[in-house]
Amino acid sequence: MTSNVLTQKPHILEITLEELKAIVATLQLKPFIATQIMEWVYQKCVCDFALMSNISKANQKTLSEAIETKWGEKIDVLPSKDDLALKHIFYLNDDAKVEAVVLKEKTYNTLCVSSQAGCPVDCKFCLTGVVGFKRNLQTYEIVGQIFSAQKQGHAISHLVFMGMGEPLLNFDNVFKAIRILNAEYGFNISKRKMTVSTSGYLAGIERLIKEDIHINLAFSVGCANPQKRELLMPIEKRNPLTEVSQALHRYQALHNRKLTLEYTLLEGKNDSHQDIRELCALAKYLSAKINLINLNPHPKIPFKPISTKSLHQIKETIEKAGVPVTVRFKKGQDISAACGQLGESYL
């Protein structure tokens, strides 16, 4: 367990049931209290011990002295004009800010989750890279994003770790959060409905293999040509596309989880016929589908999106090559909540 940056106490949203049972035993309380607390937190979205009515006042006091519960006291919620996206800006204990987005689908809601405040990867087509890196989020700050969305009545059934930050650079906190969110005592969200995005951090992929962790991955390609990719994604220098692709190939051979290649289209940079042929070859090697994302423009990003006509032509080219392909529908662009736009609260 980590501890809250202000109080040095473990936070209720980062404690597993087994850890909570151990704390309850140390406090010399009845074992069943641990289960009661988890029911309040994850079934009723109540974090305050004082509101847990089936726990005695004396035990509430004892618990509050040992476990931190404050989370998300200050949140800005910005709805998009079409009401298909809701951006949440969380103001953290140390004045860092983090953004998460509720994406409304026809039959379910997805939460785009952040793993870091800012991002150190500096992809040139992403606003979060412009913001720069502030710090890793603690487990409770990751779980808290889902907790807050659920508490507001947005029934979250799908999670995409595609918000601010590179999840594999905050491996321990991200995957502990995933264990809690997936657990029956937690929000019980299926791992098959979770996707972790990466810009290609080789050590993180190798660790997934070593620790036998199975999760849907989305790999942000930028460009399938390593030389061109390095200009768009500096991570290429220390994490070469050839080595990352080989590691992803080994990882995919271990399980049947989905792999998606995320491809942000930039006019005149990665949209040529040769670029798309190389992208298709990579997708075939990895047995992956391609998700095309037309750039969401911003004054701080020095690129332009391609035309709608070109987008459809590229999609048809990929389909003719026999590779599964989708186009990501833009949601939340008017509130800077679309893909690659998180970080406006800092700017």
List, for residues 111-170, the tens digit of each pLDDT value: 999 999 999 999 999 988 888 899 999 999 999 999 999 999 999 999 999 999 999 999
DSSP character at residue 278: H
Q: Which two tokens stand for residue 46?
A: 């109540």
Spell out the domain ranges in the chain.
12-66, 75-335
User: pLDDT-derived band of residue 346, with 50, 70 and 90 as boundaries?
Assistant: low
Task: Pick one of 3.50.50.60, 3.60.15.10, 3.20.20.70, 3.10.20.30 as the CATH number of 75-335.
Answer: 3.20.20.70
Same fold for the domain at 12-66 and the one at 75-335? no
CATH topology of domain 12-66: DNA polymerase; domain 1 (1.10.150)
Say what percent of the chain tops pLDDT 70: 93
- Position 103 pLDDT exceeds 90: yes
Global pTM reads 0.93
User: pLDDT-derived band of residue 343, with 50, 70 and 90 as boundaries?
Assistant: low
* pLDDT at residue 26, rounded to an integer: 97
* pLDDT at residue 331, rounded to an integer: 54
* pLDDT tens profile 25-76: 999 999 999 999 999 999 999 999 999 999 999 999 999 999 999 987 789 9
Mean pLDDT of 314-341: 77
Q: Which residues are catalytic?
A: 99, 339
* pLDDT tens profile 265-277: 999 999 999 999 9
Q: Could you identify the residue written with the tokens 């770790």? A: 161
* Number of Cβ within a 10 Å radius of residue 248: 24
Is the distance from CB of 99 to CB of 88 less than 8 angstroms?
A: yes
- Position 4 pLDDT exceeds 60: no
User: pLDDT-derived band of residue 335, with 50, 70 and 90 as boundaries?
Assistant: very low
- The rounded distance, in Å, linking the Cα atoms of 233 and 235 is 5
Mean pLDDT of 219-223: 98
